[in-house]
Structure 1
């Protein structure tokens, strides 16, 4: 048996528990990994409330393990897997949860951890950094353009600011007043979140914005859209496809591949990208880690460290 942080039914935090589970066995195209660290993301708590992500099963089997990204050491490889050996340090997207001592990773969405980034830093790359990478690449802005990022103080937002700046793009970050110093430390112009956002952005970027990368959705997305003359430059990872399509934009299509993971790891190695892990907690405190992110108070990335 091994420990995992799970939810036992649909609902709120009252459904969560740290419990013993049988270690999973790797199927075709999968790796069994002894987890050293697991990133915590907003998408992690949504399945607990019954929301389905792409690739989720129609009927979930309980107890269900939380988590969508992890880093650790290969314990076993399933049929058809090549390029990985027992003992390899890796990081990638989990198949059925990562807040656990052992997790299954999809071999096609797993990369070797290079020398340099710790397991803790590597665990932040498959979801937050890769989502930021895919969004900035999708927008394809030239050097000198201005990008507005909403939700700029979180893990994806912080990575998007850094990656865009590396491409020579001017960045304006929307975040709470409490995250002002953090956003500015990443080289962005900070704009406080809240009503009348568009007016504050126009004041901060009098030349206008060329694109919007939204990580919030709702009223923030709708108001940010009014700043664009070309709505094809409106992308979101914070709202459903139908919502952003009605505004003329689109949702980020994630490229969940080892190639993308290698690229974001290279950004870390080159010094372009700092994962900005601002809080780490052990597996037995996974509830506290999840609350920080679910309540919207995370600055940078929160990571659960499992051991090893």
Structure 2
């Protein structure tokens, strides 16, 4: 039976375990994908604590397989699927978890993986890079405008900095002092996070803020803007950012965005900055790396086949 890394109830790392699961069968509009690589994101451990994305309401049935973004090969196809065939290399958003050997991916939010792109690199794109892309497009800033990115040293933040630079924007990245060289290597001006960060950033006069932290950082970032409609977040709930006059990142969740971020990678405008890989049997270690805030760029779980 396929192996999967799951959480068995809401809570901390003590709820995590490996289990054997049935190989799923694709329903209408779905692809069964043999997973070659799965991206690791902060949302993965947040979901273990009970966090729900905006619009999610269904009660989870435990155990829940971790992971949201995968790259692999199509093993079977559900009714009504067009444009995909068994044996196609694809990447996309997993319907029921990615830290596993087989998963289901909705065909509508899957894309063909370019041959020049490895499965490991492709697995970094469906959540982190696509979220970054959606946010930068949502802000719709003119070339030469200044974008401030909080949490610029993480997976989404690093992608947002690079995509914004590809769109001709000046970028100011807020991250820890230890990530200064990394943030600057992405093409951003670095501002050290921590107490007083907003005053340090004020001189950059940002035209917009892409927040990936939430909480007090989001509130302080809002004070830097004269036009709060240019405040977006992927790090805070909708109601929190609405109170400040901003909005959540509106996710497109379609194949066109996946194809575009893959094109940016192949063009050299977007480096996934894959910093660490783990085998599936060390999925817990991969998750700890991200949960404890040690990751710079992206962490990926590779499934040996």
Alignment TM-score, normalising by the size of structure 1:
0.97
Q: Are 1:7 and 1:64, in contact at CA under 8 Å, matched by a contact in 2? A: yes
Distance, in Å, in 2 between the alignment partners of 1:56 and 1:18 is: 25
Distance, in Å, in 1 between the alignment partners of 2:60 and 2:198 is: 41
In structure 2, what is the equivalent of residue 164 of structure 1? 164
Q: Are 2:121 and 2:274, in contact at CA under 8 Å, matched by a contact in 1? A: yes
In structure 2, what is the equivalent of residue 71 of structure 1? 71
In structure 1, what is the equivalent of residue 256 of structure 2? 259
Measure how far apart 1:213 and its partner are: 0.2
Distance, in Å, in 2 between the alignment partners of 1:55 and 1:68 is: 16
In structure 2, what is the equivalent of residue 284 of structure 1? 281
Distance, in Å, in 1 between the alignment partners of 2:61 and 2:247 is: 32
Measure how far apart 1:23 and its partner are: 1.0
Unpaired segments ≥5 residues, structure 1: none
Alignment of 1:224 with 2:221, yes or no, is: yes
CA RMSD of aligned residues (A): 1.0
SS at match of 1:264: helix
Measure how far apart 1:56 and its partner are: 4.3
Stretches (4+) displaced over 3 A: 54-57
SS at match of 1:172: strand
Alignment of 1:99 with 2:96, yes or no, is: no
In the alignment of these two chains, the number of paired residues is 305
Distance, in Å, in 2 between the alignment partners of 1:38 and 1:300 is: 15
In structure 2, what is the equivalent of residue 247 of structure 1? 244
Measure how far apart 1:54 and its partner are: 4.3
Q: C-alpha deviations, 1:74-103, integer Å up to 9, x for none?
A: 000111111111110000001010000001
Distance, in Å, in 1 between the alignment partners of 2:37 and 2:161 is: 24
Distance, in Å, in 2 between the alignment partners of 1:85 and 1:247 is: 47
Unpaired segments ≥5 residues, structure 2: none
In structure 2, what is the equivalent of residue 88 of structure 1? 88
Q: Are 1:197 and 1:224, in contact at CA under 8 Å, matched by a contact in 2? A: no
Measure how far apart 1:58 and its partner are: 2.2
In structure 1, what is the equivalent of residue 181 of structure 2? 181
Distance, in Å, in 2 between the alignment partners of 1:201 and 1:42 is: 25
Measure how far apart 1:179 and its partner are: 0.7
Measure how far apart 1:15 and its partner are: 0.8
In structure 1, what is the equivalent of residue 265 of structure 2? 268
In structure 1, what is the equivalent of residue 51 of structure 2? 51
